[in-house]
């Protein structure tokens, strides 16, 4: 019997940034509809969410790059995939540096309620 290759989703899921492990410690505020999290880890901040967004977009660009070159994700080594993702991630940071700076200033000043 021929061995099946892993799915593309399974391969790229290992490169996503992890969420908080303490999901059982969340409470919903009744009035505002927001989530108050009792955990103090760094994964709840707005900068971590921005990092996740950039990483997901870098993974999508890597998938597109592999499709253009007619390669399968299981044919490429994990180390090479990680290098490709890091390269695409650094290019995205260079492309969106103004957005990242604006995001940092707004959240640093405490004006995150503006939603810009």
pLDDT tens, residue by residue, 46-60: 778 888 889 999 999
Instruction: Check: CB of residue 62 under 8 Å from CB of residue 84.
Output: yes
pLDDT tens, residue by residue, 14-66: 888 887 777 554 555 555 555 555 666 767 777 788 888 899 999 999 999 99
Cα–Cα distances (Å) from 54 to 1, 4, 7, 33, in that order, read 40, 31, 22, 27
Instruction: Check: CB of residue 103 under 8 Å from CB of residue 51.
Output: no
* CA nearest neighbour of 8 among 67, 53, 89, 80: 67
Q: What are 26's two structure tokens? A: 């969340």
Q: What pLDDT sits at residue 97?
A: 86
Q: Return the domain boundaries, the chain.
A: 43-116
């Amino acid at each position: 019997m021929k061995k099946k290759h892993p799915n593309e989703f399974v391969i790229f899921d290992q490169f996503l940034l992890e969420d908080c492990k303490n999901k059982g410690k969340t409470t919903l505020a009744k009035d505002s509809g927001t989530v108050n999290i009792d955990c103090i880890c760094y994964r709840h901040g707005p900068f971590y969410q921005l990092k996740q967004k950039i990483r997901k977009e870098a993974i999508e660009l890597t998938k597109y790059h592999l499709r253009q070159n007619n390669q399968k994700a299981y044919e490429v080594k994990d180390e090479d995939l990680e290098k490709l993702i890091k390269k695409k991630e650094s290019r995205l940071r260079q492309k969106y540096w103004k957005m990242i700076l604006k995001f940092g200033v707004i959240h640093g000043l405490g004006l995150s309620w503006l939603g810009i």
